[in-house]
Amino acid sequence: MKISRVRLAVFDALKVAARGVFSDALQQSFLANGLNLNLADLEMDSLAQMEFCISLELSTGVSLVPSQLAKLASTDAVEQRIRQALGE
């Protein structure tokens, strides 16, 4: 199964911002099975949210700010926002 560039970018940003959250099983579920995570469940503090946004911008070119994360609420919503910004 081919994993999209945007999905990988979200995953990489999560690894930076939510260190230690991803077990092998959770990684598999997220990447291969399309698991949608609620961002609030990851308990990212303000610094982690900023790191998440910066990582996404560096890998996709799409700018997000932490205040937007609360509105987006989930990894699927973040992914959709990035795809829309990229015109996909």
Note whether 49 and 69 are within 8 A (CB).
yes
- Provide CB contacts within 8 A for 76, sequence distance 6+: 36
**Which range marks the domain in which residue 29 is found?**
5-86
- What is the pTM for the complete model shown? 0.89
The low-confidence residues of the chain, meaning pLDDT below 50, are: none
Q: How far apart are CA 18 and CA 39, in angstroms?
A: 10
Tens-place pLDDT, residues 6-31:
999 999 999 999 888 878 888 889 98
Cα dist. 54→34, 35, 78, 81 in Å? Answer: 23, 22, 13, 15
Work out the end-to-end distance of the chain between its first and last CA atoms, rounded to an integer number of angstroms.
19
Looking at the structure of the chain, the number of domains it has is 1
